[in-house]
Structure 1
Amino acid sequence: MAFLKAISKTRRNLAENSACVNAIGEDWDAMFRLTSYKLKGEGVPVKERKYLLWALEKYREGGDPHKFAYDTKKKKEVRGWGPRVQKNIRVRGMLRPGERRA
């Protein structure tokens, strides 16, 4: 549980995820023997499985969890068809539905 709190960030709170807590447990030896298949059986999502196994390996190598833990990426602010829509760049050809002439 302490390890999950150490590698958790604001958008990735593993300490409150019941599937992760159930899969990890309190036994350190069992935690280091975790595999992706065991985590999948407990119902841990794919991104969290990969992050958890990566963090365990970093910790096993002697790293400090507070230094190597990172948060998930924020959701993109701008949606659309790339520069055509976002930066009002003139593009030759037919307009797409919903696109305006500059």
Structure 2
Amino acid sequence: MFTAEQSLRLSAPGQISTPQDFLKAIGRSSETKISIDSWDAFWRTSGSDMKNAGLSIQDRRYILWCMEKFRQNQPIEVFAHEPRPKKKIRGRGPAVQFGKRIRSRRDQ
């Protein structure tokens, strides 16, 4: 397991130097997700600390997963992805398909 200094040295120079840069690179903004000032404190952050900060379980898992991939010296461009956009149509199932409301002949 790498320490924070070792993982910082293994990353591309000048690319990521703060937790805000890391969160921005993985597609999560530091304003809405979590705000940690020091790089060492960011790497010591656990899932329970993120839970106390008010992060959802999906965001906690994704951030911790990305932190582990970064520790393994994988490039961020390979594993990072943007968050899903909001659904435009509420509901699931046969009532809504391909963005259009499906009406049954039985209801007429």
Q: Can you list the C-alpha shifts for 1:48-97, whole angstroms capped at 9, x where unaligned? A: 11111011001011012232111234437696544x9759xxxxxxxxxx
TM-score (norm 1): 0.62
Give the TM-score normalised by the residue count of structure 2.
0.59
Greater per-residue helix proportion: 1
CA–CA distance in 1 between the matches of 2:72 and 2:96?
46
Extract unaligned runs of 5+ from structure 2.
Answer: 1-19
| 2:34 is the alignment partner of 1:20 | yes
1:42 to 53, 56, 69: 53
* Larger-Rg structure: 1
Q: C-alpha separation between the residues in 2 aligned to 1:56 and 1:80?
A: 33
- Paired residues in the alignment total 82
8 A contact 1:20–1:44 mirrored in 2: yes
